Amino acid sequence: MILDRMGQLYPGTVSEPDDFGMAPVEAVHDPAYLDFLRTCWDDWQASGRTGDAVPVCWPARRSSDKAPTDIGGKMGYYGIAIDTSIDQGTWEAALSSKDAALSALRAVLGGERAAFGLCRPPGHHAARDQFGGYCFLNNAAIAAQYARDQGVGKVAIFDVDFHHGNGTQDIFYARDDVLFLSIHGDPKLVFPYFIGHEDEIGEGAGVGFNRNYVFPRDTAYGPWRDALVAGLSRVRDFGADLLIVSLGVDTFEQDPISFFRLHSEDFTDMGRVIAWAGLPTVFVLEGGYAVADIGVNVVNVLTGFESAAEMTAHGLDVRDRA
């Protein structure tokens, strides 16, 4: 469930996620990586190590690409940062999180205009065979691939989290059936650092189907909003049949690990603008670390999205500031 600052339940239908099994996960992630996630905690314990399983050593830029067999080496081979540990229950939590995303997708494929997957842990930093940034399975990517497998023609993923969705970009970088766009802090300054620059436009068949909008410290909502409108124009030009929004709310001005300056009321307008795309929309929760305000800002996006239908009925363009 989602509660606002007053403790009120968000006024939508709330349901438990269904169990979609492993097939949608296996369609996106590397089999050896999934085996690692499934057995990591037991292997860590069996090795005699104590505490949470945390990467402490990574391949350097000119290292071998051979996967170690020792669990300590595996942690660094599959992990991108020391920020993310694996513990008892991590695997089960990740599976439940992808089921939340897939259940939201199923509601939209069943005729709902929009649905929200309350995913924890988040997913957009999880690449095909890497975890990090508190992410293990890429919920948005799993949902996008599942939609394609169910016959949806073109899918757009728009990542509005403060941090670049490096994992999602990695998964779809060479494809032209899934458009990926991300608005985020400059990776020269902030995690994930090594990916997410504006000149990364895709490769092979995917050239032109990857777009990064990069912003510096103290970016306010005005220029951020302009990028959102531009990105949604690209989504419409692409001819997307479905929009998946990686909804991070760490763009909030009081977020402790980010440096954008969005206010809570800006998230309401954000929802209205997203609705302008006119597409069936799945929202998947990503980051947000100003804990007391996460629910407020997420609810603002969702209520803004809902209010757009009324604005359109009155002849208003939701791209205009309310």
Share of the chain above pLDDT 70, in %: 92
pLDDT tens sequence across 190-207: 999 999 999 999 999 999
Is pLDDT at 79 greater than 50 in this prediction? yes
Average pLDDT, the chain: 93
The tens digit of pLDDT for each residue in 239-286 reads 999 999 999 999 999 999 999 999 999 999 999 999 999 999 999 999
Dist. CA 36–CA 308, nearest whole Å: 44
| pLDDT computed for residue 127 by the predictor | 98
Pair 98, 25: CB distance under 8 Å = yes
pLDDT value for 61: 83
Predicted confidence (pLDDT) per residue in 92-144, tens digit: 999 999 999 999 999 999 999 999 999 999 999 999 999 999 999 999 999 99
Reported as a pLDDT band with limits 50, 70 and 90, residue 65 is confident
Q: What pLDDT digit, counting tens, does each position of 152-189 carry?
A: 999 999 999 999 999 999 999 999 999 999 999 999 99
pLDDT value of residue 311:
67
Please state, as a whole number, how many other Cβ atoms lie within 10 Å of the Cβ of residue 46.
10
Cα separation, 286 vs 278, in Å, equals: 22
Among residues 29, 125, 163, 184, which one is catalytic? 125
Give domain limits for the chain.
98-313
Distance (Å, whole) CA 139 – CA 246: 9
Q: What is the pLDDT of residue 6?
A: 47
- Please state, in angstroms and as integers, the Cα–Cα distance from residue 221 to each residue in 157, 247, 275, 321, following that order: 21, 16, 17, 11
Q: What is the pLDDT of residue 321?
A: 57
Is residue 53's pLDDT more than 60? yes
Asked if 184 is an active-site residue, the reply is no
Task: Give one DSSP letter per residue of 193-238, joined into a string.
Answer: -SS--TT----GGGTTSEEEEEE-TT--HHHHHHHHHHHHHHHHHH
CATH class name, domain 98-313: alpha beta
* Whole-number pLDDT of residue 1: 43
Higher-confidence position of 234 and 57: 234
Position 26 pLDDT exceeds 90: yes
pLDDT at residue 60, rounded to an integer: 84
